[in-house]
Amino acid sequence: GSAFAQTSTVTLFGVADVAVRQVKNGNAGTVKGVTSGGNTTSRLGVRGVEDLGGGMSAGFHLESGIELDAGTANASKFWNRRSTVSLIGSFGEVRLGRDSTPTYNNAVNDEFGIVGVGSRGIFVYGSGSNLGSGANTLQRTDNGVSYFLPKNLGGAFGQLHVAAGEGNTVGNKYYGGRVGYEDKQFLVGGAYGTTDVGGTQGKFKNYNLLFNYKSPWGTLHTLFDVKKWGARKSTEISVGATIPVTVGQIRVGYTNADRSGGAVGSGYANGDDSTRLALGYVYDFSKRTAVYGTVARIGNKGAARSSVLYTTPAGMLGGQNSTGAEVGLRHNF
Amino acid sequence: GSAFAQTSTVTLFGVADVAVRQVKNGNAGTVKGVTSGGNTTSRLGVRGVEDLGGGMSAGFHLESGIELDAGTANASKFWNRRSTVSLIGSFGEVRLGRDSTPTYNNAVNDEFGIVGVGSRGIFVYGSGSNLGSGANTLQRTDNGVSYFLPKNLGGAFGQLHVAAGEGNTVGNKYYGGRVGYEDKQFLVGGAYGTTDVGGTQGKFKNYNLLFNYKSPWGTLHTLFDVKKWGARKSTEISVGATIPVTVGQIRVGYTNADRSGGAVGSGYANGDDSTRLALGYVYDFSKRTAVYGTVARIGNKGAARSSVLYTTPAGMLGGQNSTGAEVGLRHNF
Amino acid sequence: GSAFAQTSTVTLFGVADVAVRQVKNGNAGTVKGVTSGGNTTSRLGVRGVEDLGGGMSAGFHLESGIELDAGTANASKFWNRRSTVSLIGSFGEVRLGRDSTPTYNNAVNDEFGIVGVGSRGIFVYGSGSNLGSGANTLQRTDNGVSYFLPKNLGGAFGQLHVAAGEGNTVGNKYYGGRVGYEDKQFLVGGAYGTTDVGGTQGKFKNYNLLFNYKSPWGTLHTLFDVKKWGARKSTEISVGATIPVTVGQIRVGYTNADRSGGAVGSGYANGDDSTRLALGYVYDFSKRTAVYGTVARIGNKGAARSSVLYTTPAGMLGGQNSTGAEVGLRHNF
């Protein structure tokens, strides 16, 4: 056990979230199991900020994803969620290290918290979302240099992000940015990013527009997200809502993913489209602890193979549907 | 360094234990070295509890084993000792994630703290303890759902534990339970568990009975532990004691492991038996810090190959004996 | 987030350091990138001390290096920087586990903090510093038993360190020691260590002499470091200085590495020599946070291949030069 004696401020934080889940992925069949992070990704983090005086501060942030059902951390990249050091002042923030990309940051404010069987995250960063390009930047990049606008711009925010290719790294070299505005009622944002992926097809490109509307009856979540690589293109439109009820919250979400340009059978041909429909309920014991339940279905057409598992299992064939249901317990610390 | 500012309670805890050790394992020869965890397994953990009101609480527990002699954590399963989230109330506790099994929980209260060259843990979870079945549940399971009886039952306790097989996992799917009673004088418990291991030999089964007697002159530790898989069977009877002396404590332990049913030469045939004898001393500098010394010998008959190293070295032949001596320093934090 | 409630003292500490860097290594070409630890190695650690009374204490120290640019910890040895438990008294300190060697401890007090493109650490533990012997003890050993002299000897200090070979481990079995003296003006030390590396060439040997002079105008850092294995020998002489200026500090460093005895073309032949020249500047925002910039050049003769990258890239040929420049942000916590 431990008491802490120094004057600096280091915070140990995280999420422990485990769900019981049943999924069916076409010919890959039905799997019942226990899984990590149906509501929020399980993690452990350490972060801190030092006041440097004169309106300046320095900070660090380390965050490690955990598969809480099996006790595993990422074997090759322990601090896989974030490892950064920052210098912050009236000029904004300069942040160095591994971090999420502007295009991801602009897409992750959905009704399901971007994880679980019901989230639009399946299309934002799940199987096939890089259009087969090898881009490894749908969530985060290594070797990032980010600049964030200062926080006192009356609700406006912005980020520029460059990730070094470091000579020969394919799929990590990224340029991107995001601008937006948030107040008590609206959150709107636009982001654009390109990733060097080698080959002759050109860069992988991603841009998206986020529009959320917050009101007493609930929050509307929308996202328009486009990915392009050579002739391949995927356009997703998502609409969802978080609706407070007498006890707890109801969550509903819908996505239509329209793919085109790829060869027939590739999963990226015209008509290789997918539709997501999800319904969930969250009961909050406190601000930190909740139980939740979600049911979701992804319908695939043509050779499309999107799955509620994010990583499509090998046995699932193109055009087969994916369904999932989960009940879990989430605790923030 | 760090001070902590939030109102929730997170505890950072662990054990640092290193010993200097000499072991001899038959033809595998003598090895002198430095090893981790002769008294208690070295580890680092993070845990916390949140009071939800109304007699309910939520908690999490992350615990990572450390080989302190070499600075290694488990490479594939960082939080290998435990990774759970819990909801606790008057109904008891529901716990989800990776955790120890009821059969293990019922066997781990021995005079040597279940680790080191002298512990009966060698038979509880060491080499050969799954009878070659592939069962991976002698200590813990992934994907566990556990229910614990509430703590206010006048000394009675109980646990049910189910671990999901998740489609195709062999050796992890487990059903088990434990009931018992503890007061100031007695600790008694019984546990039973079965593990799916595929094949045609049926499930791997383990059951055990624990009886400890606590008195001013010391504690008596006994265990009757049975493992079965197809025709193979192992029955271990262990007796030990922890005896306070003027300064520190003396520990003695004995096990007889009686194996049968396996083919000749398998190590599980009738007569492939083992006997453990161990003597130790612990000097406590404080509740948290101690130095300790242990000498132990395992005698093997027939093709039995049990070793004080838990994992029998390749060069040790059936029927050869294993001896070990270690002196170490253990510090809880 | 977390508050801590127990009476013992556990400290969570570390360094977050990321730099933007450009290096050129002969035919291996120029690489621009983002890297971790240009001023101080990025890390996360946990340590604690318990007062046992009577002038005695117990302590532990766990420390994990982090490649902050990519979020990676050491995949096979998570607590790669240190994992020890200690008993401390009027007799001194006994320390068990993975730790730095006396020869390393005696060499690491340089003007560049032993890391980054400008440090003499390139010769202390970089590519080729074990003379091809397989010795793995230039920084740390596993399985170490160390004894340190007590701290109240009027500035004198000393360490003995033995690392167990544990039967068949080549390159880790080490015997070494260090003695020295430090006051407000001087730091002087001498260390010697030998490592079993198998084969017929005998042990790998390393000895060094450190002399630092501290004054108001700055600190002079010198090191005389010799490595031997069979006929191969490397002798490095380093001189450097840390010079406070009106704002911040200037750092300069020089090393001449004189190799001999190896076969022609081995990189260890007579004339396979290297020269290091480095210039840096550090601006301290606080005691914990700084920005820094360094330029450095290593000139190689004959078949020498030393690089500012410590690990020489494959494409760099013998006799080619290595240059580097980096600008970074370092934050201690």
**pLDDT tens digits, residue range A263-300?**
999 999 999 999 999 999 999 999 999 999 999 999 99
Does residue B3 have a pLDDT over 70? no
Show the tokens assigned to A131.
Answer: 């259009």
Nearest residue on chain A to B79, judged by CA atoms? A71
Nearest alpha carbon to residue A114 among A61, A65, A173, A176:
A65
Query: 10 Å Cβ neighbour count for C22?
Result: 15
Q: How far apart are CA A12 and CA C4, in angstroms?
A: 10
Residue that is written with structure tokens 């380390």 in the block: A62
> Residue for token digits 């406006």?
A156
Under 8 Å between Cβ of C229 and C260: no
Q: ∠ at Cα A190 (A185, A193), nearest 5°? A: 150
Pairing of strands C186-195, C204-215: antiparallel
How far is Cα C155 from Cα C151, in angstroms, rounded to an integer? 8
- Give residue C167's pLDDT: 66
Buried b (16+ CB within 10 A) or exposed e, A22-43: ebbbbebeebebbbbbbbbbbb
pLDDT at B323: 98
Instruction: Please compute the mean of the pLDDT values over residues B204-230 and round it to a whole number.
Output: 97
Asked if A164 lies within 8 A of C33 by C-beta distance, the reply is yes
Neighboring chain C residues of B29 at a CB cutoff of 8 Å? 167
pLDDT of C298 above 60: yes
Could you say which residues from 22 to 41 on chain B have a Cβ atom under 8 Å away from some Cβ of chain C? 29, 31-34, 36
Contacts of A216 (CB under 8 A, 6+ apart): none
CB atoms closer than 10 angstroms to residue B76: 11
Domains recognised in chain B with CATH numbers: 26-332 (2.40.160.10)
Task: For residues A52 and A96, give the distance between their C-alpha atoms in angstroms, rounded to a whole number.
Answer: 18
For B1, name the nearest residue in chain A, comparing CA atoms only. Answer: A6
- What SS3 string covers A162-208? EECCCCCCCCCCEEEEEEEEECCCEEEEEEEEEECCCCCCCCEEEEE
Output the average pLDDT for chain A: 95
CA distance A34 to B174: 13
Q: How does DSSP assign C102-124, residue by residue?
A: HHHHTT---TTTT-STT-THHHH
* Measured distance CA(B150)–CA(A35) in Å, rounded: 25
Backbone region of residue A199 per phi and psi (left: phi > 0; alpha: psi in -120 to 50; beta: other values): left
pLDDT digit string (tens) for B61-108? 999 999 999 999 999 999 999 999 999 999 999 999 999 999 999 999
ipTM of the complex: 0.95
Per-residue pLDDT, averaged over B156-163, amounts to 98
> Is B288 part of the contact surface with chain C (CB cutoff 8 Å)?
yes
Contact status, residue B276 vs residue B120, Cβ threshold 8 Å: yes
User: Which residues of chain A neighbour C36 with C-beta distances below 8 Å?
Assistant: 97
From the list C222, C250, C249, the residue with the least C-alpha distance to C120 is C222
Q: Is B60 on the interface with A (CB under 8 A)?
A: yes
Backbone angles phi, psi at B2, to 5 degrees: -160, 135
Q: Which helix (H) or strand (E) is B276 found in, with range?
A: strand B274-284
- Residue A136 in contact with partner chain C when CB distance is under 8 A: no
Which chains, if any, share at least 3 CB pairs under 8 A with chain C? A, B
Q: Over the stretch A127-137, which tens digit does the pLDDT of each residue have?
A: 999 999 999 99
Structure token pair of residue A105: 């940051």
The confidence band for A93, taking pLDDT boundaries of 50, 70 and 90, is very high
Question: What's the confidence (pLDDT) of residue A7?
Answer: 42
CA dist A158 → A109, A151, A191 (Å): 16, 9, 9
Residue C299 burial (CB count, 10 A): 17
pLDDT band, very low/low/confident/very high, at C9 (cuts 50, 70, 90) = confident
Q: Which of C94, C95, C96 to mutate to test the interface with B (most CBs of B within 10 A)?
A: C96
Query: Rounded to the nearest 5°, which phi and psi values hold at B305?
Result: -135, 30
Q: Which of B58, B80, B145 sits opposite A289 (nearest CB)?
A: B58
Chain A contact for C167, CB < 8 A? no
Range name among C130-134, C166-170, C217-221 with the lowest pLDDT average: C166-170
Chain C contact set for A48 (CB, 8 A)? 333
**CB–CB of A12 and C31 under 8 A?**
no
Bridge-based pairing of strands A322-332 and B9-25 is unpaired
> Alpha-carbon distance A24 to A323, whole Å?
5
Choose among A159, A142, A160: nearest CA to A98.
A142
Please give the helix or strand (H or E) that residue A123 lies within, else none.
helix A121-125
**Per residue in C53-67, pLDDT tens?**
999 999 999 999 999
Q: Which residue in A212, A69, A234, A36 sits closest to A138, CA to CA?
A: A234
Cα separation of B264 and B260, whole Å? 10
